[in-house]
Amino acid sequence: MRPHAVAALALATLLVAGCLETTPPPSQGADAREPPGETQVEVPRAVARHNFTGVVSGLPAAPGESAHAIEVPPGATSLVVNLAWNLPVARLALVLVDPAGASTSASAPLGPTGAHVRVLDPAPGSWTLLVRTERAVQEAYRLQARVGVGDVATNWLAGSLPVRPGLFAEVNLEMQAGRSFDFAWKTSDGSQAYFNVHVHRNGQTVNFHEGRYAEYAGSFTSEDDGGASLLWANEGALAFSVDYDVEGDFALHSVFG
């Protein structure tokens, strides 16, 4: 038998007999275990998203309504729903109906073409999302819902804001010190928009993420309690819309556009 074969056989014999220990990777070895008396608890983190599109039509004497159903699991910590449409004159309404039949209306508009509802600790079961109009319109809409379970951000905004030449649009949030949000946006036609995230502190305006972009994504953490705003300005000659998504620990104050 060749020398290297003899060595390999001897090594295998030692391993089987338990006389020789191998060093496992750090992620699987003794060093990776919790110290005695400590238990590492993994906090559940999950988000279910639902996206619907539709058309609602109505008349002042015969309001129109479209309905969509979602399931909320036990232990859900938040239910957030955003509604967006095209024509400001349509003035669509958003209503959530819980499993017991109680209704919650949109608590804040998302500018002239959007609505927003946030429910904390929603009841488990089947929820109905209603889109209504009392106008003589036939309006297309986009409805987005997010169910959060466990350690997830409690608020989420998604919508579209028109920005006319020489004017601006703004999403205004209320935040606590140390809380954060993530955001992403883009203009509808690739136009450049002046953008910033800003705060007003001690009579001064402080800008973050300032620049001119056709699309942008980032995050912001508030250093103290107070408001924070996302602003888009149109410095060109043609109107455009901004499609935005903001998710994090905040309360919605207002949307201007």
Domain made up of 153-257: CATH architecture: Sandwich (2.60)
Q: Is the pLDDT of residue 7 over 90?
A: no
pLDDT of 80 higher than 90? yes
Q: What is the pLDDT at residue 151? A: 61
| 34 pLDDT more than 60 | no
- Residue 121 CB coordination number (10 Å): 9
**Could you tell me the fold of the domain covering 41-151?**
Jelly Rolls (2.60.120)
Read off the pLDDT of residues 146-200 as tens digits, 9 standing for 90 and up: 998 876 667 999 999 999 999 999 999 999 999 999 999 999 999 999 999 999 9
pLDDT, residue 12, reads 38
State the pairing for strand pair 180-187/168-175: unpaired
Lowest mean pLDDT among 32-46, 166-180, 218-232: 32-46
Dist CA 249 CA 178 (whole Å) = 10
Written as one string, the DSSP assignment of 121-170 is SPPSEEEEEEEEE-SS-EEEEEEEEEEEEES--SEEEEEEEEE-TT-EEE
Q: Is the fold of 41-151 the same as that of 153-257? A: yes
Q: What is the pTM of this model?
A: 0.72
In the predicted structure, residue 36 carries a pLDDT above the cut 70: no
The 10s digit of each residue's pLDDT in 112-145 is 889 999 999 999 999 999 999 988 889 999 999 9
What does the mean pLDDT of the chain come to? 83
pLDDT at position 14: 34
**pLDDT greater than 80 at residue 212:** yes
Place of tokens 């070895």: 29
Give the mean model confidence (pLDDT) for residues 98-106.
Answer: 93
Give me the sheet containing 168-175, strands edge to edge: 204-213, 193-201, 226-233, 168-175, 251-256
**Which residue ranges make up each domain of the chain?**
41-151, 153-257
